Amino acid sequence: MTYDVSSIRRQFPILQKKIGNNPLCYLDSAATSQKPQCVIDAVVDFYMTKNANVNRGVHALSEEATVAHDAARETVRKFIGAKHAYEIIFTKNATEAINLVARSFGDTLKSGDRIALSILEHHSNMVPWMQLADTRGIGLDWLPMTDDGYIDVEATDVILKKGATKLVAISGLSNVLGTLQPIEKIIDIAHKNGALVLIDASQLAAHEVIDVQKLDCDFLAFSAHKTYGPTGIGVLFGKAEILKKIPPFLGGGDMIQTVTTQGFTPAELPRKFEAGTVAAADAAGLAAALNWMEAAGMKAIKQHEASLITHALSSLQKINGLQILGPTDPKKRIGCISFSIEGIHPHDLTDVIGKEGVCLRAGHHCTQPLHALLQIPASTRLSVAAYNTVEDIDWCILSLQKAISLLRK
Ligand SMILES: Cc1ncc(COP(=O)(O)O)c(C=O)c1O
The pLDDT value given to residue 73: 98
The pLDDT value given to residue 197: 98
**CA 197 to ligand 1 center in whole angstroms:** 18
Residue 366: pLDDT over 70: yes
The pLDDT value given to residue 213: 98
**β-bridge pairing 139-143 and 361-363:** unpaired
**CA 258 to ligand 1 center in whole angstroms:** 35
Distance (Å, whole) CA 299 – CA 139: 40
Instruction: State the closest ligand 1 atom to the C-alpha of 171, by its place in the atom list counted from 1.
Output: 1
The pLDDT value given to residue 55: 81
**β-bridge pairing 379-383 and 336-341:** antiparallel
Q: Which residues contact 41 (CB under 8 A, 6 or more apart)?
A: 288
Q: 223 CB under 6 A from ligand 1?
A: yes
Instruction: State the closest ligand 1 atom to the C-alpha of 223, by its place in the atom list counted from 1.
Output: 10
Instruction: State the closest ligand 1 atom to the C-alpha of 365, by its place in the atom list counted from 1.
Output: 14
User: In this structure, are residues 221 and 201 in contact, taking their beta carbons and an 8 Å threshold?
Assistant: yes
**CA 48 to ligand 1 center in whole angstroms:** 31
The pLDDT value given to residue 409: 79
Q: 200 CB under 6 A from ligand 1?
A: yes
The pLDDT value given to residue 295: 97
**Can 25 be counted among the known catalytic residues?**
no
pLDDT band (50, 70, 90) for residue 86: very high
The pLDDT value given to residue 1: 65
Could you tell me the domains of the chain? 5-30+297-407 (3.90.1150.10), 40-294 (3.40.640.10)
Residue 58: pLDDT over 90: no
**Count of alpha carbons within 13 Å of 65, Cβ hemisphere only?**
24
Q: 203 CB under 6 A from ligand 1?
A: yes
**What digits encode the pLDDT tens for the residues 258-284?**
999 999 999 999 999 999 999 999 999
The pLDDT value given to residue 76: 98
In percent, the amount of the chain with pLDDT more than 90 equals 98
**What digits encode the pLDDT tens for the residues 10-35?**
999 999 999 999 999 999 999 999 99
Q: 122 CB under 6 A from ligand 1?
A: yes
Q: 125 CB under 6 A from ligand 1?
A: yes
Residue 57: pLDDT over 90: no
Q: In a 10 Å sphere around its CB, with 0-12 CB exposed, 13-18 middle and 19+ buried, how is residue 342 labelled? A: exposed
Of 29, 32, 90, 95, the one to substitute when testing ligand 1's pocket (max ligand atoms within 8 A of C-beta) is 95
pLDDT band (50, 70, 90) for residue 39: very high
Residue 43: pLDDT over 90: yes
**What digits encode the pLDDT tens for the residues 118-158?**
999 999 999 999 999 999 999 999 999 999 999 999 999 99
Of 90, 126, 203, the one to substitute when testing ligand 1's pocket (max ligand atoms within 8 A of C-beta) is 203
Q: Which of 336, 359, 366, 396 is catalytic?
A: 366
In percent, the amount of the chain with pLDDT more than 70 equals 100
Distance (Å, whole) CA 364 – CA 368: 6
Assessment of whether the complete model's pTM goes beyond 0.95: yes
| pLDDT, the chain, mean | 97
**Count of alpha carbons within 13 Å of 223, Cβ hemisphere only?**
19
Residue 56: pLDDT over 80: no
Instruction: State the closest ligand 1 atom to the C-alpha of 95, by its place in the atom list counted from 1.
Output: 11
**CA 249 to ligand 1 center in whole angstroms:** 20
Q: 336: closest CA among 325, 322, 352, 323?
A: 325
